[in-house]
Amino acid sequence: MMNSTRRQFLRSTGMAAASIGIVAGSTFAAQERRKPASIPSPAVLPLRQTGKRPNVILYVGDDWGSGLAGCYGHHQVKTPGVDALAAEGIRMTHAFCTTASCSPSRSVLLSGMYNHANGMYGLQHAEHHFSSFDTVHSLPMFLAQAGYRTARWGKYHVAPESSYAFEQVLGPGGHPRDGADKCRDFIAEASDKPFFLYFCPTEPHRNFKRDEGDEMNAKDITVPSYLPDIPECRQDLAEYYASIQRCDKGLLRLIEILKDTGRWNDTVVIFLSDNGAPFPGAKTTLYEPGIRLPCVIRNPLLAKQGGVCNAMINYTDIAPTILDLCSAMPTDSAFQGRSFAGVLDQENPAGFDEVFASHSFHQITMYYPMRMIRTRRYKLIFNIAYGLPYPFASDLYGSPTWQAVLKQGCKTYGKRSVEAYVRRPRFELYDLQEDSDETRNLADDPAHAKLLEELKTKLREFQKQTRDPWLHKWNYE
């Protein structure tokens, strides 16, 4: 049971969010606060003119990191599924999760609310036992109310089920390709109702599951700049990349099934990842490798194919966008994101130039709340509990990469010192144009004092408008 304090908090949060409609990539102008913004475009008008609503598949990789697909320019990971989707869809270049943690990120995807507002502060499973408020109303429920058949396959990792309810559960997991086959009957079912399929493999999460034939030579691996170029990390990456290739096979099979069943031209397919790669420096952080993620969207009624969209969006925007594409946007919701369906056919749409992020926990022992604002050029991270050492997820701490760093007594980790990674200041301000590795903190630089105050003001306003319980931490501790 939820106690009265939590109920009162959620009630105030939901009411405020419904009336405010705070969105990523916008200012908090009064005219934008009534409901999630939807920008009309010929790209989505045919759905409404014909009255036919699309099917939707939301494919969520597990810890699939930034840029790790052929269509994003990666030359070592083979991703024919994602690449095929991008060839006929739109590749988002600036898609961000709001928290680089599995359960919280998935709750944001499905609720359209930041995890500090929906209550899913950390992981759902085992002793962590975090759960969203029981009055959260999520994407599959809105779609079911709008006449959609809904089903999920694979990793769920959110709670309570009453807030994230699907009509069918097609399987708990397994090989993504086999999972796609288990969804065939649901996809092919003769029905006058369109469908929504939420497909969530457990790859490429540690421990890395790999298929025979996908092995890579660790010596050939190009190590990203945020990681140490040591043999243990190279081998770790080789196994990780092979697991990504296994995950991609599920998407490729779903595309084949959609074509075989005649559903390909009636189905919106969205591919993305819950958070960044399972390495220190990425997952659980608000640095770019943790939150800037692959996202490819194919809308069969979009005239433009094989293009890119540089709009800055975050995962609070996914649920409103899907509902907009399905002509199912509720008149009253607690969404804190907005639809970007109307700008998918625009390479550089106006008004999508900043995003926010909010991280509080991962595992129950990992209290380290952070809030972030990112513009095209700058990023400000507010480390609320900066007096504490930065905590490690158990799988990241136990990874061959980090254990080698400890064993060898390395003083640096990628481009950072180990000390700087573990001991963080209250504010981190980065010029991403000049410092893409986020290693030169400008927060104490007098030349950036005005910018720092401007971003702090925006960040406080974001917390205020989204009813962030950590807002009061600006004023004490």
Task: For 106-136, write each residue's pLDDT tens digit.
Answer: 999 999 999 999 999 988 777 877 899 999 9
Q: What is the mean pLDDT of the chain?
A: 90
Mean pLDDT, rounded, for 297-304: 93
Q: Report the Cα 324 to chain-centroid distance in Å.
A: 19
User: Does residue 438 have a pLDDT over 90?
Assistant: yes
Residue 470 DSSP one-character state: G
User: Does residue 36 have a pLDDT over 50?
Assistant: no
102 is catalytic: yes
SS (H, E, C) 17-65: HHHHCCCCCCCCCHHHCCCCCCCCCCCCHHHHHHCCCCEEEEEEECCCC
Helix (H, G, I), strand (E, B) or coil at 233: helix
User: Does residue 258 have a pLDDT over 60?
Assistant: yes
Residue 477 is predicted with a pLDDT of 66
Task: Note the pTM of the prediction, 2 decimals.
Answer: 0.90
Domains and CATH numbers, the chain: 21-359 (3.40.720.10)
Residue 64 is predicted with a pLDDT of 98
Round to whole Å and give the CA distance between 228 and 249: 29
* Choice among 22-36, 60-74, 168-182 with the minimum mean pLDDT: 22-36
Residue 35 is predicted with a pLDDT of 35
Q: Comparing C-alpha atoms, which of 401, 420, 454, 357 is closest to residue 234?
A: 401
Q: Which long-range contacts (CB under 8 A, 24 or more apart) does 453-456 make?
A: 455/373, 455/375, 455/378, 455/380, 455/429, 456/380, 456/382, 456/427
- Predicted confidence band at 4 (pLDDT cuts at 50, 70, 90)? very low
Query: How open is the CA angle 46-49-52, to the nearest 5 degrees?
Result: 75
Using only C-alpha atoms, the chain has a radius of gyration, in whole angstroms, of 21
- 102, 183, 233, 309: the active-site residue: 102
Helix (H, G, I), strand (E, B) or coil at 357: strand
Round to whole Å and give the CA distance between 294 and 95: 7
- Predicted confidence band at 156 (pLDDT cuts at 50, 70, 90)? very high
Residue 9 is predicted with a pLDDT of 36
Task: For 262-279, write each residue's pLDDT tens digit.
Answer: 999 999 999 999 999 999
Round to whole Å and give the CA distance between 169 and 232: 39
Round to whole Å and give the CA distance between 131 and 143: 22
Residue 362 is predicted with a pLDDT of 87
User: Does residue 92 have a pLDDT over 50?
Assistant: yes
CA dihedral 255, 260, 262, 264 (to 10 degrees): 10
Task: Quote the tokens at residue 141.
Answer: 């429920």
Which residues are within 8 A (CB) of 376 and not within 5 positions of it... i.e. 6 or more apart? 312, 353, 354
